[in-house]
């Protein structure tokens, strides 16, 4: 709320009733960023997030195949959605994907991140190598793993003691395991990066004090590192939840939602309804369900963890 940071070209707009008020609420002479700062981002958000969201909301009450004009059908799509067994199953599958993703990726990326924050020999080189999967596109990764997992000409053909007849993608359990594994391979580097940055921020004095008190490496990790990483863990978990809900390319290319509907998670179900069955109304309804669920989950995580209070983990230092 400031006049000092507003563009100079429009002094007239800054005058009028606002005149005479203190420059900022605290009365401090240092101004806080005004709304103008948020304008570019807000316009982008409105254009590319809010407007499509409203359009999707409107479409969910219509019947539209992409040809001609949408026809208003009231609540028909929504009623059908609640009776669709694939929809219900897809929600459970999405939840499973999120939980398994968090369970597999979080411990690994915390350990790697904390390790990468140190200054051991070869650390920079190894970190760079671990980082590579993040640089590849999801489509490339999926095609790569699809080829590697070919039952006759890929890894399973050579390792029958582990893969049996190689029908890895042909069973629901196998297909889910592959998707979780590929997700882990792809996204662990990203979360490692978050934890590496966070671990670097932990003041060394804490470790020095702990070692004087006789705490070993393991004790230091659990009593200092983990509590200090709390906010980063929350950030990372929220990203995993949202990422898990919107996982799509790997499912499309690796399993095509199969076997049967065995890996048809909600985001894939949405695509299938909209772009394969050309029922954009139902697809839009599923999209809205996804928006509501991901907002609710993120909100709950933020509330339950106390993240919204923005309490610093460095208080008292």
Partner 1 sequence: MNKHGWVARSLAGGAALALGLTMAGCSGGNGAASRPENEIHIAMYGDAGNTVEQKIIDTFNATSEVKVVLDKIPGAEYQSKLQTIIDTPTAPDIFFNWGGGSIKNFVDADLLLPLDDFIKEDPQLKDAFLPSVFETAVIDDKAYGIPMRGTQPVMLFNNSKVLADAGIANPPATWDELLEDVKILKDKGITPIALGGADRWPTLMWVEYVYDRVAGEGLFQKALEGDTSVWESEESRKALGMLRDLIDAGAFGTNFDSVKFTDGGSPALLASGKAGFELMGSWEYSTQQSSDPAFAAEVLGYSEFPKIEGGLGDEDNLVGNTNNFYSVHKNTRYPEAVRDFLKLMYSDQFVQEQVGIGNLPTTNNTEKFLDKAADPEYAKYQFNLVKEAPSFQLSWDQAYPPEATVTIHTAVAQFFSGQIDEDGFIKAMQSL
Q: Which is nearer to partner 1, 153 or 299 (CB)?
A: 153
Give the nearest distance from C-beta 215 to partner 1 in angstroms.
50
35 binds partner 1 (CB under 8 A): yes
Sign of CA dihedral 265, 271, 277, 281: positive
Going by C-alpha positions, the residue among 122, 118, 272 that lies closest to residue 195 is 118
46 binds partner 1 (CB under 8 A): yes
Pairing of strands 71-72, 62-63: antiparallel
As a whole number of angstroms, the distance between CA 83 and CA 86 comes to 9
| Side-chain-side CA neighbours of residue 217 (13 Å) | 4
Stretch that binds partner 1, among 97-105, 223-231, 274-282, 297-305 (CB under 8 A): 274-282
Site for partner 1 in 58-97 (CB under 8 A): 65-68
| Preceding amide of 259 cis, omega within 30 | yes
Stretch that binds partner 1, among 96-104, 199-207, 236-244, 270-278 (CB under 8 A): 270-278
Owner of token pair 């429009």: 10
Site for partner 1 in 118-177 (CB under 8 A): 143, 146-147, 149-153, 156, 165-171
Q: Which is nearer to partner 1, 56 or 224 (CB)?
A: 56
Backbone angles phi, psi at 246, to 5 degrees: -105, 10
Q: Which is nearer to partner 1, 85 or 316 (CB)?
A: 85
169-178 burial, b at 16+ Cβ within 10 Å, e below that, comes to beebebbbeb
Which residues of this protein are in contact with partner 1, per CB under 8 A?
A: 1, 13-14, 16-18, 35, 39, 42-43, 46-47, 50-51, 55, 65-68, 143, 146-147, 149-153, 156, 165-171, 255-256, 258-261, 272, 275-279
């Amino acid at each position: 709320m400031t006049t000092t940071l507003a563009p100079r070209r429009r002094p007239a707009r800054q005058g009028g009733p606002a005149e005479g008020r203190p420059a900022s609420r605290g009365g401090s002479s240092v101004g806080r960023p005004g709304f103008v700062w948020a304008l570019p981002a807000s316009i982008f958000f409105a254009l590319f997030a809010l407007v499509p969201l409203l359009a999707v909301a409107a479409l969910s009450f219509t019947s539209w195949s992409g040809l001609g004009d949408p026809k208003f059908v009231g609540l028909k799509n929504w009623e059908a959605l609640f009776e669709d067994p694939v929809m219900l199953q897809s929600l459970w599958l999405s939840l499973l994907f999120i939980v398994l993703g968090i369970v597999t990726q979080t411990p690994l990326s915390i350990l790697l991140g904390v390790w990468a924050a140190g200054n051991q020999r070869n650390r920079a080189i190894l970190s760079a190598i671990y980082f590579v999967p993040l640089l590849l596109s999801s489509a490339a990764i999926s095609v790569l793993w699809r080829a590697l997992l070919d039952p006759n000409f890929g890894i399973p053909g050579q390792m029958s003691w582990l893969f049996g007849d190689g029908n890895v993608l042909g069973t629901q359990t196998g297909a889910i395991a592959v998707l979780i594994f590929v997700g882990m391979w792809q996204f662990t580097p990203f979360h490692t990066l978050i934890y590496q940055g966070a671990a670097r921020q932990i003041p060394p004095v804490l470790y020095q004090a702990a070692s004087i008190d006789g705490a070993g490496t393991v004790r230091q990790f659990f009593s200092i590192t983990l509590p200090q990483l709390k906010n980063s863990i929350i950030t990372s978990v929220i990203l995993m939840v949202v990422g898990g809900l919107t996982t799509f390319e790997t499912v499309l290319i690796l399993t095509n939602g199969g076997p049967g509907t065995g890996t048809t998670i909600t985001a894939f179900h949405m695509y299938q309804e909209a772009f394969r069955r050309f029922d954009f109304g139902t697809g839009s309804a599923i999209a809205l369900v996804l928006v509501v669920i991901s907002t609710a989950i993120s909100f709950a995580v933020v509330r339950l963890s106390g993240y919204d209070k923005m309490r610093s983990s460095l208080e008292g230092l």
